[in-house]
Amino acid sequence: MDNGASSYRRFLDGDDKGLAEIVRNYSDGLILYLNGIVNNISVAEELMEESFFKIITKKPKFNAKYSFKTWLYTIGRNVAIDYLRRKAKLSDASLEDLANSVQDEYNLERLYIMEERKIPVHRALKKLNAEYRQILWLLYFEGLSNAEASVIMKKSSRQMKNLVYRAKSALKSELDKEGFVYEEL
């Protein structure tokens, strides 16, 4: 698997298999990243679909200055921010929908955490503020560099270093509260 850029070029040239490769390779990670922003797995799935829809319909230009994953996650982050803005204006979900959504999110997230066998770490991450969760997710679960994550989060290099330090410190503090035994964070 390349970094996705060649698949996107093939898609732009009319090969739908290129788009299928992108969706197959990046959809799961994008959903989990977006879930860290909106804190709802069902909404994160919809936002992932909306992100790919944006790529399909608008065919934005890929900036080779960054990795394809960085470019795609930036699009996803912008879609999530737009969603949160709309949600702030129109907050009228029914109680039944909310209950179903919360139950679905809980079941999917629980399965993922059990599969990874990192329950204390995930529990501690949930207690962090959204920005800390987001940066730790990008760096340690998605494997992005500080530079790539700074592009997605629209932060300077110095802001990124400070954010990473504060996020790691906050996570360590939460893990210490739970009595977590670790070698290196």
Answer whether 149's CB lies under 8 Å from 135's CB.
Answer: yes
CA 40, chain centre distance (Å): 12
Say yes or no to pLDDT of 120 above 80: no
At how many degrees (to 10) do helices 41-58 and 68-89 cross? 120
Distance CA 181, CA 179 (A): 6
Amino acid identity, residue 5?
A
CA 59, chain centre distance (Å): 21
Say yes or no to pLDDT of 136 above 80: yes
CA 164, chain centre distance (Å): 16
Give CA separation, 79 vs 48, 99, 145, 151, 173, in Å: 9, 24, 22, 15, 32
How confident is the model over 172-179, as a mean pLDDT?
82
1-117 and 118-180, same CATH topology: no
**How confident is the model at residue 117, as a pLDDT?**
47
Q: How confident is the model at residue 169 (pLDDT cuts 50, 70, 90)?
A: very high
Distance CA 34, CA 53 (A): 15
| Of 103-107, 140-144, 145-149, minimum mean pLDDT range | 103-107
Instruction: Please state which architecture CATH assigns to domain 1-117.
Output: Orthogonal Bundle (1.10)
Residue ranges covered by each domain of the chain: 1-117, 118-180
How confident is the model over 122-135, as a mean pLDDT?
86
Tell me the H-state helices in 39-129.
Answer: 41-58, 68-89, 95-116, 119-127
Length of the chain: 185
How confident is the model over 45-71, as a mean pLDDT?
89
Q: Tokens 């932060």 identify what position?
A: 155
- CATH code for the part of the protein at 118-180: 1.10.10.10
Distance CA 30, CA 23 (A): 10
